[in-house]
Structure 1
Amino acid sequence: MNLLVIYTYPNHRSLNYDFLQKVLEGSRENPAISAVQVLDLYEEEFDPVLVFHEQKRRRDMHADPALEKYRAQIQWADKIVFVYPIWWGRPPAMLLGYIDKMFASGFAYRDNGKLLPEGLLKGKSAVCVSTMKGPALYPLYWLNNAHKVLMRKALLQYVGIRPVKFFEFGSMESPRGRHEQKLQRVYRYFKTVAK
């Protein structure tokens, strides 16, 4: 299994970075995982801004040569892992900008005249490891599970990626946030996941 880990946090001295390290540590110890690539969107200085005009059309985005490296990473991956904070009930704009660019028609999906398009990334699965300041049940009860609905249904399943597993950790700015216990959960999952 090939693992693509997309890390979206601007600081390497952070709890999010610790979660990234646990993903990598567990993956290195898992014989089912043959190779891992990490895409650090901030370190990469990925440009999340969409630009369309007469020479750069939205319908041609699936073939944009500036994005070829990132398309190749997605095609290579069997499992895509997203590590990010939840800000304002959703992933960071940097990650959403990456998705806007990469999940383009002609690459990630194809319109087929039906209610939902054909997902072109079938056969891949995803894991979302996210942190937030608020309590763990806040997104469920206050936001109607908007984060999971966005990531699972509106984005990943739309392009054929399934299943989608979530590690959604709350109270992460609290000294009682059980950080080590949560880090170990992520480590154990990646040490043993088979597909």
Structure 2
Amino acid sequence: MKTLVIYTHPNHQSLSYAFLQAVLRGCEENPNIVDVQVLDLYQAQFNPVLVFNENKRRRDMHADPDLAAYREQLLWADQIVLVYPIWWGRPPAMLMGYIDQMFASGFAYRDNGSLIPEGLLKGKSVVCISSMKGPTFYPFFWLNNAHKILMRKALFNYVGIKRTKFFEFGNMESTRGKHQQKLEKVYRHFRNTAH
């Protein structure tokens, strides 16, 4: 299993970075995971801003040469892991900008005249690891589970990815946030997963 880890946080002293390290440690100890690539969107200075003009058209985004290396990573991966904080009830703008550009028509899905397009990224799996200041139940009760619906239904199911797992951790700025237990849970998942 080939694993692409997309890390989205500007601070390498953050809890998100600790989750990234837990993922990598688990992957390293898992004989089912043969290769791992890490894409640190901030470190890579990924430009999340969409630009459409007379030279760049939305319908051509699937073939944008500036994004070719990122497309190759997504095609290469059997498992895609997203590590990010929840800010204002959703992933950071940097990650959303990556999603806007990478999951383009002609690459991630194809319009086929029916209500639901043909997903072109079938067979892959996704794990979303997110943390937030508020309580874990906050997105479910106050935001109608918007984060998970956005990621699972509006994005991954749309492009053909049916296996999506969430680790959504709350109370992460509290001394009672059980950080070590949560890091251990993520580590164990990646140490033991078989895809």
Identify the residue that residue 72 of structure 1 maps to in structure 2: 72
Listed as ranges, the matches of 1:1-195 within 5 Å are 1-195=1-195
How far is the alpha carbon of 1:54 from its aligned partner?
Answer: 1.1
How far is the alpha carbon of 1:164 from its aligned partner?
Answer: 0.3
How far is the alpha carbon of 1:161 from its aligned partner?
Answer: 1.2
How far is the alpha carbon of 1:162 from its aligned partner?
Answer: 1.9
Measure the CA separation in 2 of the matches of 1:151 and 1:115.
19
Measure the CA separation in 2 of the matches of 1:22 and 1:157.
27
> What is the root-mean-square deviation in Å for CA atoms of aligned residues?
0.4
What code does the residue aligned with 1:158 have? Y
Which sections of structure 2, spanning at least 5 residues, go unmatched?
A: none
Displacement over 3 Å in runs of 4+: none
TM-score with structure 1 setting the length: 0.99
SS of 2:167's equivalent? strand
What code does the residue aligned with 2:133 have? K
Measure the CA separation in 2 of the matches of 1:14 and 1:49.
24
How far is the alpha carbon of 1:134 from its aligned partner?
Answer: 0.1
What code does the residue aligned with 1:35 have? D
How far is the alpha carbon of 1:186 from its aligned partner?
Answer: 0.1
Measure the CA separation in 1 of the matches of 2:81 and 2:151.
12
Measure the CA separation in 1 of the matches of 2:111 and 2:162.
19
SS of 2:84's equivalent? strand
How far is the alpha carbon of 1:55 from its aligned partner?
Answer: 1.2
TM-score with structure 2 setting the length: 0.99
Measure the CA separation in 1 of the matches of 2:17 and 2:136.
19
How far is the alpha carbon of 1:17 from its aligned partner?
Answer: 0.2
For this pair of structures, how many residues does the alignment match? 195
Measure the CA separation in 1 of the matches of 2:192 and 2:165.
14
SS of 2:6's equivalent? strand
What code does the residue aligned with 2:137 have? L
